[in-house]
Structure 1
Amino acid sequence: MDPAGAPWWGVPVIAGGFLLLGAVLGFVFNRLNEDRKAKQAAAIRWDSELREIGAEVLTTVNEMTRTGAVLEVRTLYVRGGKPDRATLLQAERQTNEHVESLAGFLVECQLIAPPNVYAALNRISRSAWDFQGTLYPNSSSAGRVDAAHKQLLRDVWEFVETLRAHLGVETGLPKPDSNNE
């Protein structure tokens, strides 16, 4: 070894060390990046499913409360009238189909939804069931139908806000005006 200079093998050893370090770091960072991309792709896929289910839930609730015999029952009660037994039975049958649809959405969400979104959808399902129960001919009254309808609207609003927060969409939609619904 020459006391005035570096050993002849020093440069190749240092270069080799940096080469190995670069290969290890490249592998580690590439692996982390691929894992992040895979998680992001899965999240996008499940979020897309949740978005579709959310839209179907909103459509189902709107059809349940704003069409056919149910709308007729609500309108009669608001105007101070009382629906006949046949109208109430028809409204109850109509809501039964929608309640079953909501139960199906709930089952789908058990697999893919985060707990807070699932809980909000579960509250809608229970409120829809309660709303349907107010339409039975022997137990129907204006106050019960109105209270159950307002609770269902509050639960739908909460579900929308929870789903929007999960999807990263701005929240803060106005609460439904119970007097106009």
Structure 2
Amino acid sequence: MLSTPESAALTMSVQTFMDSPFFVGVLTLAGVALGAWLSYVFNRRHEDRKAAREDAQRWDQNVLNHTSAVITLTRQLRSAASDYFGAEQVQLDILLDQQLRGEAIDAPTIAQPALRIFSDTFDAFTQECDQLALVAPTSVREAVQSHWEFAAALMRANPAEDTFTPAHDLASSADVLATSVRQYFGIESIDQR
């Protein structure tokens, strides 16, 4: 580069400007501002990831809690169904015995408390299935829907007919639900251990 008086003057004025306290202050302020902005961006990204991870953990915990409640209520529902169907059979036997003896047939009330428990358990079961369906992934949601349908079939079962099959189907469906939740979480099946 050729040195001319104008370029020497320009170089001198740039050097003077760069050595001035104003330029050093502006440069320092720009460095601090850039550092603060970068710190904000990286901290924000970290906090967003942390919040997303905590949300996912809460959702997963909800899935586990509601699945556990549904499985527990399934056992209670099967027990309540068994009690109700047994009470219905006893009630029917008493009515037949009264009829055979020629007595007036009383209004049946033996199975009413068992029916109330059966119905209340089904209501709690339905509510828990609804809660699980709200927080579960699609594969689990489909298993919950199918499981609820088996429970509804048990509710519709006629005590005078086969009640073993709907109860057995409900138990098998509970196993399918548990397996779908295990698969979602990547948990090894109990059978494979």
TM-score range, shorter chain: 0.5 to 0.7
> What is the match of residue 137 of structure 1?
159
Taking the aligned partners of 2:166 and 2:186, their CA distance within structure 1 comes to 29
Taking the aligned partners of 1:137 and 1:69, their CA distance within structure 2 comes to 9
Change (3 A) 1:30 1:69: closer
Q: Tell me the amino acid that sits aligned with residue 63 of structure 2.
A: L
Taking the aligned partners of 1:39 and 1:49, their CA distance within structure 2 comes to 15
Q: Tell me the amino acid that sits aligned with residue 155 of structure 1.
A: S
> What is the match of residue 72 of structure 2?
59
Q: Tell me the amino acid that sits aligned with residue 173 of structure 1.
A: I
Percent same amino acid at aligned positions?
20
Change (3 A) 1:90 1:174: farther
Matched-pair contact (CA < 8 Å) for 2:139–2:180: yes
Cα distance, 1:170 vs. partner?
Answer: 1.2
> What is the match of residue 115 of structure 1?
138
Cα distance, 1:19 vs. partner?
Answer: 4.8
> What is the match of residue 163 of structure 1?
181
Out of 47, 55, 80, which is 2:60 matched to? 47
Number of aligned residue pairs: 158
> What is the match of residue 191 of structure 2?
174
User: Secondary structure of 2:191's match?
Assistant: coil
Taking the aligned partners of 2:61 and 2:72, their CA distance within structure 1 comes to 17
User: Secondary structure of 2:140's match?
Assistant: helix
> What is the match of residue 84 of structure 1?
89
Q: Which has the higher contact order (CA 8 A, sep 6+)?
A: 2
Out of 172, 176, 182, which is 1:154 matched to? 172
Taking the aligned partners of 1:151 and 1:11, their CA distance within structure 2 comes to 80
Q: Tell me the amino acid that sits aligned with residue 55 of structure 1.
A: S
TM-score by length of 2: 0.61
Taking the aligned partners of 2:30 and 2:136, their CA distance within structure 1 comes to 48
Taking the aligned partners of 2:92 and 2:28, their CA distance within structure 1 comes to 87
Taking the aligned partners of 2:58 and 2:74, their CA distance within structure 1 comes to 25
Q: Tell me the amino acid that sits aligned with residue 190 of structure 2.
A: L
Higher helix share: 2
Asked if 1:24 corresponds to 2:37, the answer is yes
Q: Tell me the amino acid that sits aligned with residue 111 of structure 1.
A: L
Q: Tell me the amino acid that sits aligned with residue 159 of structure 2.
A: P
- What is the RMSD computed on CA atoms of the aligned residues? 3.8
Taking the aligned partners of 1:133 and 1:159, their CA distance within structure 2 comes to 21
Matched-pair contact (CA < 8 Å) for 2:147–2:170: yes
